[in-house]
Structure 1
């Protein structure tokens, strides 16, 4: 301690930094003013002419981003200026399906000790809000979508903590009952009965917090030209079939994982990552970051917003709506090194995908992107009416995933998609769920 004290005392700027940081937020002190001054919301390609959505105090960014991607075309089909799908509806079925998914995994692992690492992972936070692109697609395939007017937001959809506490309790209690029945050699039928009882409680809690999910609804609307339209009674699957034109069946997940343990141009999956038991297996293709940039840029230039996942909290100014790899100079403030690269940050749990959003614009100079426009789902009180600016330096360091049509990949990567995926353990950082 004496050595540390002497080292601190010998630093000429220590007292100044202490004086400032004890009175102000460290981000205000570390903020690189040059980067802020040069940040301009001007892009060569901009797709959005709509307002942002608001996930409120919930971790539903991945489904907001997915539904926002769909609505860009649905607005044109309906000929309306503004439109939102019901996020509460998708949230309801995600919780219901995920409860079933986790309890099936509990049955599968019932022969393991309670402190087994996989069992512990399954029970750590069984029904959190976070998710992935493939999980979103599985929900829409199975349950469809509805307009927001049919199943609007509730207090709990936008502030899910209390609801999730009750749901997690029921899933863990169901897991206890299943494991007891396994220990008593009651058989698979009895274990599935226990699962059904837990699911009954989960369904009831969801209905109380979110409302009853509609099996069908009456749909009619007036377009922006004042013309009235009526479809009459529709099911959520019928509505999805008619009003979602985005070819989600053709989309694949591209990730950038630069760790030496993760070979590029290979497919990956993560054990026990999913929400729908009979849904498609979650599969990633690991690609170079420049390939990811090029595909995202070309999609935007072709008029298609891009679903993406990133580590949103790093080097971000929320109010200014700005990301840059060097936005905050913590090294100068603390006189300490911050020099781990992206692979090392993954290995040592300093980074992971935390949030999903949409790219809706890009600024391209000499064929290369220099900044990106991002539609967030944190309301319009932050950034530029809810839209953020991402400098290209940040993309390389903190971007992890995009969803893209298979046709945008070069042929060798399309062929790589057919390889049997390498299976990562449940706790691998590339299995992180977007939920910020």
Structure 2
């Protein structure tokens, strides 16, 4: 075969030719089920067609171990799920100490500080990378989302450690804390503009860059104040408990309030992930370049472990009386009106007559999954020592599921949960020791650096 003929054969299918288009049309028309599915899906949402009712009706919402007796929260049109999940974990002990049935820390207060700290974190990353081309992959990644709403467990802990907490009454929600898009739009432009200016000053040295950074942060501070209000430095704390007894703690700082009412030792918690890629060895710690919100806070570090251990530790914590913060890819196989997740809830393969064969590792490698949402496990159904179902406190309000509490089957947990926060003391000794090893550094764009929102 000549080189010309070989090249001709290699290039034969590069373009969509009339013959190919005719072939695809005939293939579609040859199977009556395709027309049936076309008639159904053009008039009905595909999830209603693909829903496997046997699985949906077979999901029992009861669990053997059930912790929650409080109301679900609502992040509304914001990406603060990781923050809500963290505060929902902490409010359990706070409500018990206060003697009240329901209690919320101010999510708006923590949002204000996250935005301001994250602006500084972003600008420092720009200073550090200002000698690179603007289309360098890391710089491009930083510029793509300079101040989104999402976050991870370690970022939540960093905010509480530095800025403390306040009750919701001391800094209530605003229109922009519940719907962050317009505020974020202004902040993004200011920060990208600031990045341009900092990069232009790279030749003048870091001192000159940081002088300009101060001007950018002053503008960010104004935007946050206008949209979210001013975070209190002190506030008067008094309340009435569930027995209608009055209490007054007097004037407190956010740090004093957190010290009094956070009942969990946040510095003892570690982040475990399930990353089944061959490039991510089990038993090693990882970090991701430029992932974080508070400059000089401990880096975001997680320990990669097997899925069975993730499930075991989450189950043990709940059985022991403590909810569990976790991150997942929330919209996979999700039925919102019923408030359920199951790994086989929708039969898309039958609807499309196409196989869906990627496992969790392949989905990570090929950008088909990443952590997108954080919530709180508040219950588990244990059968013969193993989990069968999980009860989840979402932060999407009380309208769906069991007044905002959802049901997750164990099959879904294995496929779509990525991350949990647990006490270091719960780990086997060899894994606890692994936390002290230097972490493997992943690039800024690695999917395990995704932010839950």
Same fold by TM (over 0.5)?
A: yes
The one of 239, 242, 250 aligned to 1:221: 239
Structure 1 unaligned spans of 5+: none
How far apart are 1:12 and its partner, in Å? 2.9
User: Are 1:151 and 2:184 matched, yes or no?
Assistant: no
Report matched runs for 1:16-95 at 5 Å.
Answer: 16-95=36-115
SS in 1 for 2:419: strand
Q: Partners of 1:92 and 1:232 in 2: how far apart?
A: 24
- Tell me the equivalent position of 1:286: 304
Report matched runs for 1:1-400 at 5 Å.
Answer: 1-182=21-202, 185-400=203-418
SS in 2 for 1:388: strand
Q: Partners of 1:31 and 1:237 in 2: how far apart?
A: 49
- Tell me the equivalent position of 1:428: 446
Q: Partners of 1:187 and 1:315 in 2: how far apart?
A: 51
* Paired residue total: 433
Q: Partners of 2:312 and 2:68 in 1: how far apart?
A: 20
Residues 71-123 of structure 1: CA deviation (Å, up to 9, x unaligned) = 01110000000100000000000000000001011111111111111111111
Structure 2 unaligned spans of 5+: 1-20
User: Which segment drifts farther, 172-181 or 322-331?
Assistant: 172-181
TM-score, normalised to structure 1, is 0.99
Q: Partners of 1:162 and 1:75 in 2: how far apart?
A: 33
SS in 2 for 1:433: coil
SS in 2 for 1:370: strand
SS in 1 for 2:402: coil
Q: Partners of 1:4 and 1:431 in 2: how far apart?
A: 40
RMSD: 0.6
How far apart are 1:354 and its partner, in Å? 0.1
- Tell me the equivalent position of 1:413: 431
Q: Partners of 1:118 and 1:194 in 2: how far apart?
A: 22
Q: Partners of 1:373 and 1:255 in 2: how far apart?
A: 20
Residues 357-400 of structure 1: CA deviation (Å, up to 9, x unaligned) = 00000000000000000000000011111110000000010000
Q: Partners of 2:322 and 2:61 in 1: how far apart?
A: 19
TM-score, normalised to structure 2, is 0.95
How far apart are 1:136 and its partner, in Å? 0.3
Residues 135-183 of structure 1: CA deviation (Å, up to 9, x unaligned) = 000000000000001100011001000000111111111111111111x
Q: Partners of 2:351 and 2:220 in 1: how far apart?
A: 49
How far apart are 1:187 and its partner, in Å? 2.1
SS in 1 for 2:242: coil
